[in-house]
């Protein structure tokens, strides 16, 4: 698995130095769709990040209160799931079985991938890739000052509602 991850990084030109910014930019460009990084407070202590694949863009939500190095790892992990095009095993459905985001319209969200819901192989692959990315990082990721992108505002509000965000002012 490690060799597969290393070969993929080499294919991307990132075998000797990469980081969150480079991978984020590379995947957005390769996939021809933006990937929005959104900090949020999760009331569930076992959930630190998730990837939502929308029709025209992707959202990675990560724990706002995590340390800087943990945020980097969470984002690298979720970017790895995107890079490998993992599908996970949970997605919102019309009958409410999407448990976590019941109020998110399934037509708007193609797949919700929560870190704790992937197969063991997918999790191991994403963890291996995240570790390799961060081990090669030539600079640390700095969280930008930002606002919620207009195209993602509605879904971000739904996510906050779905997770029971204690931050009343939003992100």
In terms of DSSP H, where are the helices of the chain?
A: 2-11, 20-31, 68-83, 120-136, 153-163
Is 168 part of a structural domain of the chain?
no
Is 106 part of a structural domain of the chain?
yes
Global pTM value: 0.69
- Pairing between β-strand 58-63 and β-strand 35-40 as defined by DSSP bridges: parallel
Is 121 part of a structural domain of the chain?
yes
Is 169 part of a structural domain of the chain?
no
Domain count, the chain: 1
Is 171 part of a structural domain of the chain?
no
pLDDT at 127: 92
Q: Could you read off the pLDDT tens digit of each residue along the chain, which spans 171 residues?
A: 888 888 888 888 776 667 788 888 889 999 999 999 988 887 767 778 888 888 889 999 899 888 888 999 999 999 999 988 887 544 443 444 444 455 555 444 444 434 445 668 888 999 999 988 888 776 666 666 566 677 777 777 777 666 655 554 444
- Domain range enclosing 138: 2-163
pLDDT at 22: 81
Is 170 part of a structural domain of the chain?
no
Is 11 part of a structural domain of the chain?
yes
Decide: 129 and 3 in contact? Cβ < 8 Å. no
pLDDT at 104: 52
């Amino acid at each position: 698995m490690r060799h597969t991850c290393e070969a993929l990084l080499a294919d991307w030109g990132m075998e000797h130095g990469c980081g969150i910014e480079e991978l984020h930019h590379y995947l957005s460009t390769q996939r021809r769709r933006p990937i929005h990084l959104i900090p949020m407070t999760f009331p569930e202590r076992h959930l630190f990040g998730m990837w939502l694949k929308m029709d025209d863009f992707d959202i990675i939500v990560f724990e706002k209160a995590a340390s800087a190095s943990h945020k980097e790892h969470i984002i690298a992990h979720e970017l790895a799931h995107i890079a490998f095009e993992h599908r996970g095993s949970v997605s919102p459905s019309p009958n409410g079985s999407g448990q976590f985001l019941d109020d998110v319209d399934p037509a708007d969200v193609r797949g919700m991938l929560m870190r704790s819901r992937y197969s063991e192989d997918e999790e191991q692959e994403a963890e291996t890739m995240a570790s390799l990315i961060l081990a090669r990082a030539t600079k640390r990721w700095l969280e930008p000052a930002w606002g919620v992108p207009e195209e993602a505002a509605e879904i971000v509000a739904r996510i906050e509602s779905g997770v029971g965000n204690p931050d009343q002012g939003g992100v």
